[in-house]
Chains A and B, each alone.
Chain A
Amino acid sequence: MGLDIRIPIGLMFAIFGLLLGLFGLGGDNSVYERSLGININLCWGVVLLIFGGVMLAFGRQGMSRMAKDQGTSGSEKRVH
């Protein structure tokens, strides 16, 4: 299939995490009045960054397995 979906997902969420996290670190804190005083950008940014990283790791694993499968024509999955 060529592209493991976890790679773009991981990449996108890692970027979201970085953007939100950095914005939360640098930005002005008065905007967090509405989020009950919690710096939600920083917190959620860190969570998304971790999620993105995990997805990327799985995706890379999946890609290398796919490459190996194509070498051996991957017949083990064909059960019907």
Chain B
Amino acid sequence: MNLTWIDWLIMLVYFVFVLGIGFALKRYTKTSTDFFLAGRSIPAWICGLAFISANLGAQEVIGMAASGAKYGIATSHFYWIGAIPAMVFVGLFMMPFYYGSRARSVPEYLRLRFDEKTRGLNAISFAIMTVFSSGISMYAMAKLIQVLHIFDAPFRMMGISEARIFDVSIIAAALIVLAYIFLGGLRSAIYNEVLQFFLIVAGFMPLVYLGLKNVGGWSGLKAALPEAYTHSWQGMGSAQTNPLGVEVFGLAMGLGFVLSFGYWCTDFLVVQRAMAAHDMTAARRTPLIAAVPKMFFPFLVILPGLIAIALTPAHMQQGGWSSYPPSVTSAQIEVGKAGRGLIPVKVDEATGGPKLDQNGKPVLDYDLAIPNMLLHYFPTGILGLGLTALLASFMSGMAGNVTAFNTVWTYDIYQSYINKNATDEHYLWMGRMATVFGIAASVAAAYVATRFNNIMDVLQLVFAFVNAPLFATFLLGMFWKRATGHGAFTGLVSGTMAAAIHHGLSLPTGAVHGIKGGWLGVVHNYPSEMAQNFWTAIWAWSVCFVVTILVSLMTRPRDDKELVGLVYSLTQKQAEHHLEWWKRPATLGIAVIVMSVLLNIVFF
């Protein structure tokens, strides 16, 4: 890594601005509404950019490029099928109830619509989940800093052992995020997310430009890769003929409906950004505005993955592996040569040599696609910008989780079960304390991840089970007035159990019993892990949907009067006559859908 003073200066300027925003906003943060909901005063475009930026964490940037390198442009399904339709739906149809009910969080909506136990279940599982997600984000960042040797030189200069880089990275990231959220609450998080959004675009755009130019543009990329890599729909008819190993129904229903709507329409992490909007129209426009940059993100995050795998030695005359720091051993360089393009082989920590799979083939470390692209193409100067963008993406992912956690903790757990009638000042104080606690817990989670890799996998699996049925509950809650609290609660619990049972009874082909499934005995084999995930979600959703309906029909419904503003059929539609037609959310929603259909056709 050849970083010079200019790279450090750019990084420093960024951190000064991040913290500066926190300090500048401190004086506008006087009530708990300011802290948790940004005073419900933010314009739609800012909320919209924060909406996607909060989701633009490490998993997104690193993971989507990795998946681009592994599966090709079909990864864009996670955007064009797995995000856009759900974002349009939440904006047009669900936001009127989230924003209109004046609920301060998603679990609080569940209490207004259903009952206390449904809220409690959602609030507690969500709170635990956010802490672990932010911990995983932190862990991944520190690991990356360590692997890429980003901070080796300054550490040597300061005389700190390189073994401490992991700890220092975690603590530093935690303190920065803590500082700006503690000071300015959600508003500060949102402002920083917008800053991070532009930074990520500014850092990755030149990377895509240079990479594409190097491989000879889109046509050059197509020529260098297998056919399936550059077509998103070809071969989707059957799981055997496409790189994802999923058939079209599993993709559309599992990813496009259950998982995507479950995330974008019910996850408080993103919905909170829209709740901060200054009025109902702005709140409804938030996810719609977010959908526009979202649909072009594949070009920014997936394309670098494709380029990284397409590069041949002829492309790589400059830079390349010669840029290894002197500490790299010859065994590690051997590992490098076994990789494909810029994607190295995973290093076996025990032997120091390449890690091999069951068939003796080397396992590629796809997660290094983006970092290696940065190192390969960026000279000092812009390299600082690119690395800062990468760090920004980790921090925005972390901050999003922390703001969602402190709100759910304070409103849905502390105020509901521990201290009901405190002053607003007290809740504001509690919010700040929850921020400190949430970040401390994330740091702890990051260290848990370093010790027990399996525990994190198990937890993520459990979260998937808890999340999968959620959208059925919200769909019935918002559009069927007969749905009851008992119905919702039993539906959620049985949906989660259905997910666990389905996972326990199925196994992706070639996988071993245990964390990958089959722990109850294998009844069905899926062609890929992704197919198994999608079908787990489909089962969970369907069971929750059916059980909620059945139990609701057997229990006493609530009075229509109590459900006004919470259910579609009992809520007056918002008048939009005063808005010009092109400013109405519906127009924007249709435009977004048309654009995303066009993108699918272009990359068919």
Contacts and interface: CB of A to CB of B under 8 A. Distances in A.
Given A27-B381, A36-B214, A44-B206, A5 B376 contact: no
Given A9-B198, A35-B377, A79-B281, A3 B25 contact: yes
Contacts of A20: 6, 10, 381-382, 385
Interface string B189-226: 00100110010001000100010011000000000000
Contacts of A23: 6, 381
B379 A3 contact: no
Given A12-B17, A16-B385, A34-B378, A1 B202 contact: no
Given A12-B13, A12-B17, A40 B28 contact: no
B457 to A, nearest CB: 37
Interface residues of B, number: 42
Given A32-B379, A40-B378, A77-B279, A19 B13 contact: yes
Interface residues of A, number: 33
Given A5-B46, A8-B195, A38-B210, A19 B378 contact: no
Contacts of B28: 1-3
B14 interface: yes
A8 B191 contact: yes
B194 A9 contact: yes
B39 interface: yes
Contacts of B25: 2-3
A12 B194 contact: no
Interface string B569-604: 000001000100000000000000000000000000
Interface in A18-65: 19-20, 23-24, 27, 31-36, 38, 40-41, 43-44, 48, 51
A15 B382 CA distance: 13
Given A19-B13, A34-B376, A77-B278, A41 B381 contact: yes
Contacts of B331: none
B348 to A, nearest CB: 29
A44 to B, nearest CB: 5
Contacts of A9: 194-195, 198
B578 A79 contact: yes
Contacts of A32: 379
Contacts of B382: 20, 35, 40-41, 44
A38 to B, nearest CB: 7
A1 B37 CA distance: 13
Most buried by B among A16, A34, A43, A80: A34
Interface string B554-569: 0000000000000000
B6 to A, nearest CB: 5
A19 B6 contact: yes
Contact of A1 (B41, B213, B318): B41
A80 B280 contact: yes
A1 B194 CA distance: 16
A79 to B, nearest CB: 6
Contact of A34 (B6, B9, B280, B379): B379
A8 B39 CA distance: 20
B21 interface: yes
Nearest 7 Cβ contacts at the A-B interface = A34-B319, A31-B379, A41-B381, A33-B318, A12-B17, A34-B318, A23-B381
Given A34-B379, A51-B202, 8 more contacts: A2-B28, A5-B46, A19-B381, A34-B376, A35-B378, A40-B381, A77-B278, A79-B279
26 contacts: A1-B187, A2-B27, A3-B21, A5-B191, A5-B194, A15-B13, A19-B6, A19-B13, A19-B381, A20-B10, A20-B381, A23-B381, A24-B381, A31-B381, A34-B319, A35-B210, A36-B210, A36-B213, A36-B214, A40-B206, A40-B378, A41-B382, A43-B206, A44-B382, A77-B278, A77-B279
Interface of A: 1-3, 5, 8-9, 11-13, 15-16, 19-20, 23-24, 27, 31-36, 38, 40-41, 43-44, 48, 51, 77-80
